[in-house]
Homo-oligomer: A and B are copies of this chain.
Amino acid sequence: MAEPPSKVSQYQSLIEKELAVLKLPEEPKKLYEPIRYTLSLGGKRMRPVLLLLGCDLFDGNIEKAISAALAVELFHNFTLMHDDIMDNAPLRRNQPTTHQKWNKNVAILSGDLMLVKAYELLNSCETENLSGILNVFNEAATKVCEGQQMDMDFEEKETIFIDEYIKMISLKTAALLAGSLKIGAILGGASADDSRKLQEFGKHIGIAFQLQDDLLDVFGNPEKFGKTVGGDIIANKKTFLFLKAFELADALQKRTLQNLLVDEGHPDLIGGQTSSGCLSQPVRQNPQLVRKKSVREKAKEKIERVTDLYCQLNVKEITKKEIERYYIKGMQFLNETSTSSEKKSEITSFVSQLMIREL
């Protein structure tokens, strides 16, 4: 019998409910409040949902997988909290980031504790699977840290090859999706081969998601996807689109791209926040306004110029094809698992919901 189509939203509600009643002490306030705050900001809860779907795929009792699902969500939120410090990000899900709302020390320490709490949750898994699950989790956690460091290294690196970029996102983004699915599979009683296949599915889907994020940043409909168009361009992010464009560009186009990259990033234009740099200028109303306007206009112009170059080089279509390639490869791994097609369709429908076909 086919599963009811609402399974994903059931799981999402379950995760929300469980996160809301997560047992955390009141004191010290500055340690536990940021954790509650971060977990309350919502999100698609993609990782825990995939973990539960992974468990269900092998007819596992998802009750046994809830703690592990919460663990991957806590881990993910820990990484966001620390990444936001490192990236100096003012906003996350349209709300102030923890280091912005409190301070950096609070965000470091609360993040640390969130990681410990993730392990605490993992430790409520049945003993027979504990060591195996910890293995998968630790491997994913290591990859996420390695990916984040690679990403930061890229900021200072002149030449980045596409395959290095794919490696970076497969660590930073895809490894935790893959690990979540594998943990779900193990808890669902999957064979080693099926668990590995589900992990590979997660890895490829994760890469596709990240490439899609890169694409939407430039070509997405801001109203539809809730993102400021061109944020990555302004922040001089070396995304797949940028690297592909650079690869295909002729000498003149390369120089144009390089010149645009030398431009100082203006993160204040991304988060909609006023930069403190502006505020610390001598207070004379008119010149400040004039300067501000010109920064905004410069940013708009930069986005237009880069987008124009991307269009000349057919980068949009190339990226779409690349996304499709990873998506299809991922789906092949899913299809190869020895599970019923009814069960597979739950995961497929969830994942395809997250894929945007038309732009």
Binding site for B on A (CB under 8 A): 27-28, 30-31, 78, 82, 85-86, 105, 108-109, 111-113, 115-117, 119-120, 123, 127, 130-131, 134-135, 138, 141-142, 145-146, 148-150, 152-153
Contact = CB atoms under 8 A, between A and B. Distances in A.
A31 B145 contact: yes
Contact of A112 (B28, B105, B145): B145
Number of copies of this chain that the complex holds: 2
26 contacts: A27-B146, A28-B146, A28-B150, A31-B145, A31-B146, A31-B149, A85-B108, A86-B108, A86-B109, A109-B148, A109-B152, A112-B112, A112-B115, A112-B145, A113-B141, A113-B145, A115-B116, A116-B141, A117-B142, A119-B119, A119-B138, A123-B134, A127-B127, A127-B130, A130-B130, A130-B131
A120 B105 contact: no
Given A31-B145, A112-B112, 10 more contacts: A30-B149, A82-B109, A86-B109, A112-B115, A115-B116, A117-B142, A123-B134, A123-B135, A127-B130, A127-B131
A113 B85 contact: no
Given A28-B150, A127-B127, A149-B30, A115 B115 contact: yes
A70 to B, nearest CB: 14
